[in-house]
Amino acid sequence: MTGTDYCKLHDHSPDKAYDALFREYCDYVHAIIFNRLRSVASREDIEECVSDVFADVFFGYDAEHSSENDMKGFIGTVAKRRAISVFRSITARQNHLSGDADDEMANMSSDTDIEAESDKTETQQLLMSKIKELGEPDSTIILQKYYYDRSSGEIAELLSMKAATVRMRAARALDKLRALLTGSGITL
């Protein structure tokens, strides 16, 4: 159903428009809601959320500012946002009702090794500073190739170079980077 079809049907009969909308998108909306809420919500909560999505669409669809395309994207967005809102309210309610400070602290604790994370962050910052020291276009080539996983051809197009030149500069830049990192006490 396109936005135009829905608007025409809505102008003729709002009840028929709602029924047609519900028939066409009920399974789609239910799948989105169920996938987001199945771990925290009851069946009744899920069904209520599905109904709320259709009410939001029915009362919130703006025909003047909508596209003439399929309404599926709009409905999917409304469903995802409603499901997230319900998820947050249910989990907040469950956390509030637990009332046990030890449980809340256990939920807040993490298996993350803070020292290792700090070292990793420092290493990443050092690496980025050494890549910047390479200068242009070498730093851009290294970042595009190894951080953004772009091919030499894509980088060449981005920098208005030949792919062979990009490959050669990348190899030389890696050698320079290795020397800079070794000078900073990092070995590869």
pLDDT at 110: 53
- Residue position matching structure tokens 């290795």: 178
Q: Which of 148, 121, 138, 150 has the alpha carbon at shortest distance from 175?
A: 138
Where, residue-wise, is CATH 1.10.10.10 in the chain? Answer: 114-183
pLDDT at 112: 57
To the nearest whole percent, how much of the chain has pLDDT over 70?
78
Which whole number is the average pLDDT over 29-48? Answer: 87
Was domain 114-183 assigned CATH 1.10.10.10? yes
Residue 91 has pLDDT above 80, yes or no: yes
Which whole number is the average pLDDT over 111-132? Answer: 73
2.60.120, 1.20.80, 3.30.2420, 1.10.1740: CATH of 3-105: 1.10.1740
Confidence band for 96, pLDDT divided at 50, 70 and 90: low
Quick one: how far is CA 15 from the chain centroid?
36
Where, residue-wise, is CATH 1.10.1740 in the chain? Answer: 3-105
pTM, entire model? 0.47
